[in-house]
Structure 1
Amino acid sequence: MTFQPRMNNRISGFSVVGSWKRRSWNGVVADLWDVECAPAAGGFYVADHPRLFIVLDAKGAGQHNIRLRQTGETSVCGGRQAISYIPAGMELWADMVDVSFVRHLDLHFNVETLSKRLMEDLDPRKLSMPQLMFSEPRLMALAELIAAECANPQPLHDLYGDGLSVALFIDVMRLGAVKARRRSALASWQLRRATDYITENCLRSIRLQELSVLTGLSQSHFSHAFKASTGVPPHQWQMKARIERARQMMLENEMPMSVVAVETGFADQAHFTRVFRKMVGVTPANWAKSQR
């Protein structure tokens, strides 16, 4: 489903010049506005999603400025450009003081989508902290490029505007490189239950689902946790159990290697020999001779 930002507002004194321009990317919606402002223009805003409100240009008489007010605090843009990060659900009032024209860019973000794309859970504390009316040349340069793409009658590939918008979000939120998550190992009882089951049933094909049910985990979680505990995936552990069974058979009975291979669940003697040599370091026949 396409992301559609929702905002409630009560505004007065604004007239849109021409038509507003919208571009949508993966979890991001960008709106570019040119607005004429009447004296004492302003309004109240609250949105369901976090957003960036970026003043690209402001004109007016004297010391014109734009004031953003949240409960207990007022921030002022006294120049032509400023960036504000506004958390979801934050009530905000805007007042235009001697401002006759403003060009601004609104970027709305779907946090759930961005969290998946950035491969990390975005810190709720960062997302809830407003940053009002600051300016930084690097961030403004990104914003200008996004605005130009919104206004472009022949827009470039979606990855262009998408990449610029996500880059701006990362920079404003000061997101660092994602650290690799350490996979947790199995509990001792889970590991014992899984390895005992594999040993007892190693001569047949064991499905991953059987092992995950035994340990109460999803198949993916079990697979990663088993490897974290043993250093090898479940299938390789089963191969080790088969090879151990084959070694016992060769010690207790003299039988053709082809029979040993079939009895221990291998496709044929060649498969058995290949796996045995990889795990033990010698062929089954050479190993058997060394035990006599």
Structure 2
Amino acid sequence: MTFVPRMESRIEGFSAIGNLKCQVWDGVVADLWDVSCGEKAEGYYVSPDPRLFVTLKVDGGGAFFVEGAKGELRRHDRAFSMAYIPAGVPIRGRVEGLSHIRHLDLHFDAATLTRRFGGSLDRDALRVSRFQFRDDKIAALAGLIAAECDSGQPMHDLYGEGLLNALFVSLFEIDRPNPARQRAPLSRHKLRLVTEYMEAHCLDKIRLADLSALTGLSETAVSHAFKAATGMAPHRWQMQARVARIQAMMTHEAASLGDIAEAAGFFDQAHLTRVFKSIVGVTPGAWKAAHHRQ
């Protein structure tokens, strides 16, 4: 079955220049957009599939701002500034002082990516948002993929899929399979430091840099060591702790689910519901009803 992106968007002040240029590969859709920007151009976007956004060209002296689910605002004002948005994470974008943006959107199917890379892909990495970052390898590959979209005569599919494979390897730091390699887990002392910190700050944005400072390990090392000790990535552990805190709030407080979503750092009530269901297995409403019957 051909993969079809299902992104919901509401935009104002953006106008496409010419027709959308698109290429489709196995489990990936690449969209190349040229967009003119009005004075107060803005948009809301959410998709059940992960995507990578890469600015290729910006005209004007301003910037494009991306706001993530926790209100984190990031400025994109240069070509090849990037944002990775996981499945189900809503974002808002707005423009100040730009007249034109050329950008590449890569929408991809997580199941196809898993099939392609197998156990070498850290599935938890797919759930971590990354706003306003730059990577020279990914930039070069994105430029070549955009050229394929722009070409009237694209090359063999294996060429495009090779570019995508290289891009995903860089984006998600996919290692060569090595069954003999084992990650050393965090020591009991460091694991206690990290989990107590994450429990205390589960409603806040926790960065790998924070955990790195606690343990004295690099960001990559602390992420792998935490997963080796607990069986899950730090972000997933934090989401479980956050949902547990939300369950306590729903049990002991009279606040509405919308108010709880805001207090817990979610973009909106729908975002909270998606995360809650992914961890608990049911919606907050269903959980609360079952809890009250007990």
Same fold judged by TM-score > 0.5? yes
Structure number, greater radius of gyration? 1
* Counterpart residue type for residue 164 of structure 2: S
Separation (CA, whole Å) in 1 of partners of 2:50 and 2:120: 15
Structure 2 distance, partners of 1:81, 1:172, is 14
What is the alpha-carbon distance in structure 2 between the residues aligned to residue 33 and residue 78 of structure 1? 17
Q: Of 31, 54, 66, which aligns to 2:64?
A: 66
* Structure 2 counterparts to residues 97-246 of structure 1, below 5 A: 97-120=96-119, 122-180=121-179
Aligned 8 A contact 2:55 2:81 in 1: yes
What is the Cα deviation at residue 40 of structure 1? 1.1
User: Residue 165 of structure 1 aligns to a residue in which SS?
Assistant: helix
Alpha-carbon distance change, 50 to 181 in structure 1, aligned in 2, over 3 angstroms:
farther
Cα-to-partner distance string for 1:85-133 (whole Å, 9 max, x where unaligned): 1100001000111111000000011111111111227433211111111
| Pair 1:129–1:94, CA change in 2 (3 A) | same
Contact 2:120 2:177 in 1 (8 A): no
Q: Distance in 1 between matches of 2:116 and 2:21?
A: 25
Give 1:243-262 correspondences, 5 Å limit.
none
Q: Secondary structure at the match of 1:119?
A: helix
Q: Write out per-residue CA displacement over residues 188-227 of structure 1, whole angstroms, 9 at most, x where no aligned residue.
A: xxxxxxxxxxxxxxxxxxxxxxxxxxxxxxxxxxxxxxxx
Cα distance in 2 between the residues matched to 1:38 and 1:72:
23
Given that residues 59 and 80 in structure 1 are in contact (C-alpha distance below 8 angstroms), is that contact kept between their aligned partners in structure 2? Answer: no
8 Å CA contact 2:21–2:32 kept in 1: the answer is yes
| TM-score computed with the length of structure 1 as normaliser | 0.59
Paired amino acid for 1:10: R
Structure 2 portions without partners, runs of 5+: 182-294
Amino acid at match of 1:139: I
Give the Cα separation in 2 of the matches to 1:38 and 1:17.
13
Give the alignment of 1:52-63 within 5 angstroms: 52-60=52-60, 62=61
| Superposition deviation, residue 176 in structure 1 | 0.8
C-alpha contact 1:58 1:81 (8 A) present in aligned 2? no
Q: Find the counterpart in structure 1 of residue 8 from structure 2.
A: 8
Q: Which has the higher contact order (CA 8 A, sep 6+)?
A: 2
Q: Within 2, Cα distance between the matches of 1:27 and 1:44?
A: 24
Are the structure 2 counterparts of residues 49 and 181 from structure 1 closer, same or farther at C-alpha, using a change threshold of 3 Å?
farther
CA distance in 2, matches of 1:118, 1:79: 31
**Which has the larger displacement, 124-133 or 104-113?**
124-133
Alignment deviations for residues 254-288 of structure 1 (CA, whole Å, 9 cap, x no partner): xxxxxxxxxxxxxxxxxxxxxxxxxxxxxxxxxxx
CA distance in 2, matches of 1:90, 1:147: 24
Specify the alignment match of 2:240 in structure 1: none
- Partner amino acid for 2:55? V
Q: Distance in 1 between matches of 2:26 and 2:105?
A: 16
3-state SS of the aligned residue for 1:67? Answer: strand
Q: Which runs of 5+ in 1 are unaligned?
A: 183-292
Secondary structure of the corresponding residue to residue 119 of structure 2: coil
Read off the aligned partner of 2:35 and give its amino acid letter: V
2:18 equivalent in structure 1: 18
1:119·1:178 contact (CA, 8 Å) conserved in 2? no
Aligned residue pairs: how many? Answer: 180
Q: For residues 121 and 139 of structure 1, what CA distance do their matches in structure 2 show?
A: 19
Give, in whole Å, the separation in 2 of the partners of 1:172 and 1:109: 13
Q: Aligned in 2, Cα 1:7/1:144: closer, same or farther, shift over 3 Å?
A: same
Preserved CA contact (<8 Å) 1:49 1:110? yes
1:162, CA displacement in angstroms?
A: 1.3
Write the distance in 2 (CA, Å) between the matches of 1:108 and 1:178.
25
Q: What is the aligned-residue identity percentage?
A: 44
* Distance in 2 (alpha carbons) for counterparts of 1:33 and 1:105: 6
Distance 2:79 2:120 in 1: 35
Q: When the two structures are superposed, what TM-score results if normalisation uses the length of structure 2?
A: 0.59
Contact 2:25 2:160 (C-alpha < 8 Å) held by counterparts: yes
The answer as to whether partners of 1:50 and 1:127 remain within 8 angstroms in 2 is: yes
